[in-house]
Amino acid sequence: MTAAAPLDSVRKTATRLLGSSSRNSYDPGLDIDWDAPVELDMKFMPFERTSLYGTGLWDRMTEQQRIELSRQELASVASTGLWFELVLVEMLARWAYHQDPQDPRTQYALTEIGDETRHILMFAKAIARLGAPTYRPRPLVRQLARIYKATATGPALFAPVLVAEEITDRLQREMVNDESVHPLVRMVNRIHVVEEARHVRFAREEVARQMRDIGPIAKVISNLASAVVASFVATALISPDVYAEVGLDPAEATRAARGNPNYHETRRWMAEKIIKFLDEQGMVTWYSRPIYSLAHLV
CATH number of the domain that residue 56 is part of: 1.10.620.20
Chain centre distance of CA 31: 22
Domain contains 120: yes
Determine, yes or no, domain membership for 28: yes
CA distances from 8 to 14, 164, 220, 229, 288 (A): 10, 27, 26, 29, 30
Closest CA to 268 of 238, 289, 236, 295: 295
Q: Is residue 261 part of a domain?
A: yes
DSSP helix/strand/coil, 43: strand
Q: Is 100 contained in some domain?
A: yes
Indicate the helix (H) or strand (E) that contains 231: helix 216-236
| pLDDT at position 141 | 94
Express the helix, strand and coil content of the chain in percent, nearest 5 each.
75, 0, 25
Assigned domain for 1 exists: no
For residue 178, is it within any domain? yes
CA distances from 245 to 51, 68, 80, 128, 135 (A): 14, 8, 17, 15, 11
d(CA 80, CA 76): 6
pTM of the model: 0.94
Domain presence at residue 187? yes
Q: Residue 86: CB partners within 8 Å, gap ≥ 6?
A: 120
Domain that holds residue 182: 7-294
Is residue 79 within 8 A of residue 239, CB to CB? The reply is yes
pLDDT at 1: 43
Furthest-apart CA pair in the chain: how many Å?
60
**Which residue pairs, CB below 8 angstroms and at least 24 apart, start in 250-255?**
252/57, 253/52, 253/57
Q: What's the rounded Cα separation, in Å, for the pair 27 and 7? A: 31
Residue 276: what pLDDT? 97
Q: How would you class 140 by CB atoms within 10 Å of its CB: exposed for 0-12, middle for 13-18, buried for 19 or more?
A: exposed
Ranges of residues in the chain with a pLDDT under 50 are 1-2
Burial class (CB in 10 A: 0-12, 13-18, 19+), 200: middle
Residue 2 lies in a domain: no
Overall number of domains in the chain:
1
